[in-house]
């Protein structure tokens, strides 16, 4: 069984929920779990810098008594690195780059038996459909989960954008009406998450 924790973004601004999130991600994995950090949704040149930044930033959110062994994922050795990890954390960022990389794999098989945590864009990529806060339109994901996903719901994400703040009511409505109207729509506020076991 694989445990997926789909999260909406903004973890650093929601410390209590961040602690819950990482407690779920690392539950039952011992006091020194191997945690693979995946920053494929960012520019390749930024991955190392983000790894250093976020492992330090998120350290206070780790469960008491748990000191993960951190590894930064690489595109070249991703399959091997996943196999060696106990848990995988996939950060947010750009949807297309992460989608293109994960689309090369049988994702369900790749993550089989692992604990997988996602954040914003990486949650959207695993959903059947999602609404992109950057593109401001609905899009197709990998379809690992038969759901629709809207990240950063009702936050100030994009408030300084030249297009103006996001109309969250409109975004939700657009996603709800997009393609298969029978799929459940998850519009999560920042820090919130949903757990799926498959």
Q: 192 and 6 in contact (C-beta within 8 Å)? A: no
Count of domains forming the chain:
1
pTM across the whole model: 0.96
36 located within any domain: yes
Could you tell me if residue 168 is inside a domain? no
- pLDDT tens for each residue of 141-165: 999 999 999 999 999 998 999 999 9
What is the domain-level CATH number for residue 15?
3.40.50.880
pLDDT of residue 43: 85
Q: What is the extent of the structural domain holding 76?
A: 3-129+189-197
Asked, for residue 145, whether it belongs to a domain, the answer is no
Name the nearest CA neighbour of 60 among 87, 29, 94, 22. 22
166 is a domain residue = no
Give yes or no for a contact between 112 and 139, defined as CB atoms under 8 angstroms apart: no
Tell me, yes or no, whether 32 lies in a domain.
Answer: yes
Query: For residue 139, is it within any domain?
Result: no
Domain-located, residue 140? no
pLDDT digits (tens, 9 = 90+) for 103-129: 999 999 999 999 999 999 999 999 999
């Amino acid at each position: 069984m694989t445990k997926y924790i789909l999260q909406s973004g903004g973890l650093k601004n929601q410390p209590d929920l961040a602690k819950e999130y990482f407690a779920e991600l690392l539950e039952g994995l011992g006091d020194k779990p191997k945690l693979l950090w995946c920053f494929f949704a960012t520019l390749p040149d930024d991955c190392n810098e983000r790894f250093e930044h976020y492992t330090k930033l998120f350290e206070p959110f780790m469960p008491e008594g748990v000191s993960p062994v951190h590894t930064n994922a690489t595109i070249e050795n991703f399959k091997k690195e996943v196999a060696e990890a106990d848990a995988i954390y996939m950060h947010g960022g750009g949807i297309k780059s992460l989608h293109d990389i994960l689309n090369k794999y049988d994702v369900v098989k790749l993550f089989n038996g692992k604990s997988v945590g996602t954040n914003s864009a990486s949650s959207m990529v695993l959903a059947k459909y999602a609404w992109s806060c950057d593109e401001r339109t609905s899009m197709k994901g990998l379809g690992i989960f038969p759901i629709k996903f809207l990240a950063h719901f009702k936050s100030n994400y994009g408030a300084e954008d030249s297009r103006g703040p996001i109309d969250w009511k409109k975004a939700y409505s657009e996603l709800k009406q997009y393609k298969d109207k029978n799929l459940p729509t998850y519009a999560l506020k920042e820090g919130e998450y949903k757990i799926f076991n498959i």
